[in-house]
Amino acid sequence: LARGLGRQEARETLAHECMHGIFYSQPAVRAACAAFWAERAGEEGREAWSSFLADFGYDTGNEGLVLNEFFAYMTTETRLFGSPKPSLKSLGRRTDKAGGGRRMELLRELQREFNAFIRDLVPGPRPRLDKGTCLLE
């Protein structure tokens, strides 16, 4: 893990990385992610997610990467879009573009819907590190 991470941030990062392993090792999870993305995320939700990733420098033209990160972030993230007023600035990132409040609202809605949709397809044991950072529990 990266230097300078606090204990909780290291746990959260490890849980996020574990979810990448589940994404790659479970064809049913990958298929369900793709189905949710195509059929349930909606155009506005896909745009919100893509712009979120672009702000962090991800290649949003790579659909496999977009889906993989969607799965990992949506199942573990509690700080960036998990609270009503997230602050990217506090994490050393630039703040949202214009309309970012709506984007974060959309991402929180997507997260709730996606976790309800995918929960039963993710095999156990799920990453649970101390305070539990996997939102599928």
Q: Are 70 and 37 in contact (CB under 8 A)?
A: yes
- What residue ranges in the chain does DSSP mark as E strands? none
Residue 48: pLDDT band with limits 50, 70, 90: very high
Euclidean distance between CA atoms 60 and 74, whole angstroms: 16
Q: What is the pLDDT of residue 127?
A: 63
Q: What is the pLDDT of residue 131?
A: 54
Two tokens, residue 137: 């529990």
Euclidean distance between CA atoms 15 and 103, whole angstroms: 24
- Its pTM stands at 0.80
Euclidean distance between CA atoms 110 and 5, whole angstroms: 27
More confident site: 82 or 127: 127
Two tokens, residue 111: 């997260």
Q: What is the pLDDT of residue 120?
A: 87
